[in-house]
């Protein structure tokens, strides 16, 4: 399971890096564009959206999943894998937002905030063995179907 999640995670991360390289090359090297102007309201919207995708939504999603788990008592392996993939995808949006915000004329402080959120998303949601073991224990994962049959 950890190999599947790592492969999925790295695929998303490398896709974001390739997207950034293409974006950077297109705007700065090929087109020689100056950074695009963005209003303050748009900067605030970008910061709030990045915060929601990096911090708020993963916590909210875990709470909802855990509350549903109280009724079911256990979660099967496929459901857990789907849950983990969602927890990898949603915070990665903040990385993409940072890369897109790089083409805009945003001041240093909001850009630094976006960079910190992006780095947090990249490092915190990395599917390490320790994190997966902890979440398997929290969500009471069934490793195979025979355990589920014998428990009933």
pLDDT tens for each residue of 63-83:
988 888 877 777 788 888 999
pLDDT at 10: 93
How many angstroms separate the Cα of 108 from the Cα of each of 72, 75, 114, 129? Answer: 47, 44, 10, 36
Q: Output the pLDDT for position 144.
A: 62
The residue segments making up the domain with residue 85 are 2-143
11 located within any domain: yes
User: What percent of the chain is modeled with pLDDT above 90?
Assistant: 44
Whole-angstrom Cα distance, residue 33 to residue 135? 46
**How many Å apart are CA 93 and CA 53, to the nearest integer?**
6
Q: What is the pLDDT of residue 135?
A: 86
Within a domain: residue 150?
no
Say how many domains are in the chain.
1
Does a structural domain hold residue 79? yes
**CB half-sphere exposure, 21, CA atoms < 13 A:** 6
Q: How many CB atoms lie within 10 A of CB 84?
A: 23
Report d(CA 19, CA 95) in Å as an integer: 11
Q: What is the pLDDT of residue 150?
A: 41
What one-character-per-residue DSSP string does 43-58 give? Answer: HHHHHHHHHIIIIIHH
End-to-end CA distance of the chain: 25
* Any domain includes 149: no
Q: 151 in a domain, yes or no?
A: no
In a domain, 68, yes or no: yes
- Tens of pLDDT along the chain (152 residues) come to 889 999 999 999 999 999 989 988 888 777 777 777 888 999 999 999 999 999 999 999 989 888 888 777 777 888 889 999 999 999 999 999 988 888 888 888 999 999 999 999 999 989 999 988 888 888 778 766 544 444 44
C-alpha angle with apex 137: 71 to 80, nearest 5 degrees? 65
Prediction pTM value: 0.79
């Amino acid at each position: 399971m950890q190999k599947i999640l790592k492969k999925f995670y790295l695929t998303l991360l490398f896709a974001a890096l390739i997207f950034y390289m293409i974006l950077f090359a297109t705007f700065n090297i090929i087109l020689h564009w100056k950074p695009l102007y963005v209003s303050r309201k748009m900067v605030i919207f970008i910061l709030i959206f990045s915060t929601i995708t990096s911090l708020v939504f993963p916590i909210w999603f875990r709470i909802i999943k855990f509350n549903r788990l109280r009724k079911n008592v256990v979660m099967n392996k496929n459901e857990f894998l789907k849950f983990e993939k969602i927890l990898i995808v949603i915070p990665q949006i903040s990385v993409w937002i940072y890369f897109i915000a790089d083409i805009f004329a945003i001041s240093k402080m909001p850009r630094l905030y976006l960079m910190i959120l992006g780095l947090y998303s990249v490092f915190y949601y990395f599917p390490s063995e320790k994190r997966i073991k902890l979440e398997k224990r929290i969500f009471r994962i069934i490793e195979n179907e025979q355990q589920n049959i014998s428990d009933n």
